[in-house]
Amino acid sequence: MVRPSRLTRFFMRIVAGAEKLNRGLSAVGNPPIYDTAVFPWAAQIEREWPIIRAELDRLLSRKDELPGFHELATDVSTISQDRGWKTFLLAGYGYRSEKNIALCPETWRICRNIPGLITAMFSILEPGKHLPPHRGPYNGVLRLHLGLIIPEPREQLGIRIAKNIYRWREGEVIIFDDAYEHEAWNHTACTRVVLFVDFRKPLRFPANLVNWILLHLAMFTPFIREGMDNQKAWERKFYREAETLRNS
């Protein structure tokens, strides 16, 4: 096993200290799954879900060309190593995909109303796919899933967060802390799609300031920069092929 560099170990110690600070100074508590009433803006996302679904339906005509998570973010290779878990990124850690946003402008408009938005994408779980137990790298963010395409029977798909099992519903938001161990599965015969959003966890001072700094520094870390480079390379190929099809 390769020993982390001195700089990496230093950063890991800072993150560990920030996580302890975040737990003590959370403005919304620290449950695995939140009551969405804690976030009043979530209701508006649920009201507008058919608009997002309509943009997704158009996008899925090219579903087989969408990238697997592991093709963009190498740090998820221990979670998924095949294209059973795909994504379509709108924005993440300071990077905005203008061409992807142009395909889903209303989805982006709706996402921009989320305070502290960090990432926004579609998460596509193919039939038979199981994401094993794992946890997010840092508890300074919370995650939102909005059910968009949820196949039946619903009893054959879901997500476990700590000891809680949630089964997605179309048009329903769940907000959870991915720093808790979680896993997800789709044992149906059809594809499951959710809107996948990360946003800054509401914290009290000084944790909110430390969190803001760490999340802005994250965009300069090697795995984020590598992921963005991979995303840009995929976009060039995706849109070049689309242009070729239009001209043929």
pLDDT digits (tens, 9 = 90+) for 79-130: 877 889 999 999 999 999 999 999 999 999 999 999 999 999 999 999 999 9
Whole-Å CA distances, 3 to 6, 12, 134: 9, 13, 21
DSSP state of 166: E
Rounded Cα distance, 206 and 52, in Å:
36
If DSSP codes are grouped into helix, strand and coil, which group holds residue 6?
helix
Predicted local distance difference test score (pLDDT) of residue 248:
60
Number of alpha carbons in the 13 Å side-chain half-sphere of residue 230: 20
Length of the chain, please? Answer: 248
Strands (E), the chain: 33-34, 85-92, 95-96, 117-125, 130-134, 141-149, 157-161, 164-166, 173-176, 182-186, 192-200
**The amino acid at 236:** R
How many other C-beta atoms can be found within 10 angstroms of the C-beta atom of residue 104? 24
For the entire predicted model, the pTM comes to 0.94
- State whether CATH 2.60.120.330 applies to domain 11-202+210-247: yes
* Gap between the terminal Cα atoms of the chain: 50
**Whether the Cβ atoms of residue 201 and residue 39 lie closer than 8 Å to each other:** no
For the chain, list residues with pLDDT below 70: 1-5, 7-8, 76-77, 244-248
**The amino acid at 106:** E
Rounded Cα distance, 111 and 205, in Å:
25
Query: Based on the number of CB atoms within 10 Å of its own CB, is 24 exposed (0-12), middle (13-18) or buried (19 or more)?
Result: exposed
User: What tens digit of pLDDT does each residue of 46-64 get?
Assistant: 999 999 999 999 999 999 9
**The amino acid at 50:** P
For the chain, the structural domain boundaries read 11-202+210-247
**Whether the Cβ atoms of residue 137 and residue 177 lie closer than 8 Å to each other:** no
Predicted local distance difference test score (pLDDT) of residue 4:
61
Whole-Å CA distances, 190 to 6, 57, 67, 173, 229: 46, 14, 18, 21, 31
